[in-house]
Chains A and B, each alone.
Chain A
Amino acid sequence: AQSVTQPDIHITVSEGASLELRCNYSYGATPYLFWYVQSPGQGLQLLLKYFSGDTLVQGIKGFEAEFKRSQSSFNLRKPSVHWSDAAEYFCAVGGRNQGGKLIFGQGTELSVKP
């Protein structure tokens, strides 16, 4: 079955601390992986994507993610969190021949302490 698991429903970090959000996927074909961020009342904004090649991908707002095929993981990281990073983060997986269908994880809500 195709699925995405984000084990942490809610994470709180202090401003300036490092961040890692976990994502594990189950997908039968070659996965295309995405991280999106959703601020309250807003749509989803793409942070970064992995299609192939270098397994460490850089995104916007200082985020990066590492694809580990052996662990079926695509964890999101940021070295120093800013208060404006507080939001909901979604990991998603899709494939080349799936009609564009994305399967989303349940999301991780990030809170940032001053």
Chain B
Amino acid sequence: DTAVSQTPKYLVTQMGNDKSIKCEQNLGHDTMYWYKQDSKKFLKIMFSYNNKELIINETVPNRFSPKSPDKAHLNLHINSLELGDSAVYFCASSREAGGQPQHFGDGTRLSIL
């Protein structure tokens, strides 16, 4: 059983479109995250949710809107996609939000044409 699963694995779309990435964890964790990995492999946190409540929002453009329908799911919706949004997006989860080890999904590679 995959612990943290993301769909889709690849997403190719045009500028201006709206797209969503879904994430689910079956670890029973309370906290979930979205990270962005750029072309130089630099990883930066975007959002963190604890028990469906937003606790970290790292000055991400408001075109990005996370939604957590329950503790096991954290989806990422992106409006009006721009070229600079091309990256690999990783979902992660941890038992709690307090320096605990984070378990990562395999990533979603988003390519904007």
Task: A56 to B109: give the CA distance in the assembly, Å.
Answer: 36
B42 cross-chain contacts in A, Cβ below 8 A: 104, 106-107
Cβ contact of B99, chosen from A42, A45, A88, A95, cutoff 8 A: A95
| Chain B interface residue bracket vs A | 20 to 34
Chain A 85-99: CB-based contact to B (< 8 A → 1; otherwise 0):
000101000111111
Within the complex, what minimum Cβ distance (angstroms) separates A43 from chain B?
A: 4
Is A102 a contact partner of B106 (Cβ separation < 8 A)?
A: no
With A32-B99, A43-B4, A90-B43 already in contact, the answer to whether A100 and B104 are too (CB < 8 A) is no
CA distance A44 to B92 in the complex (A): 9
B89-107, CB < 8 A from A: 90, 92, 94, 96-107
> Contact check: which of B55, B92, B99, B103 meets A96 at CB < 8 Å?
B99
Contacts A43-B4, A46-B101 given: A100-B50 contact, CB under 8 Å? yes
Instruction: A104 to B37: give the CA distance in the assembly, Å.
Output: 10
Give the residue of A36, A41, A100, A104 whose beta carbon is less than 8 angstroms from that of B100.
A100
Chain B positions within 8 Å of A, measured between CB atoms, are: 4, 31, 33, 40-45, 48, 50, 55-56, 58, 90, 92, 94, 96-107
Other than the given A44-B92, A100-B31, A107-B41, 14 more pairs (CB < 8 A) read A42-B106, A43-B90, A43-B106, A46-B103, A90-B43, A94-B99, A98-B98, A99-B50, A100-B33, A100-B50, A100-B55, A100-B94, A100-B98, A104-B43
Chain A residues close to B by CB (< 8 Å): 32, 34, 36, 38, 41-46, 49, 51, 88, 90, 94-102, 104, 106-107
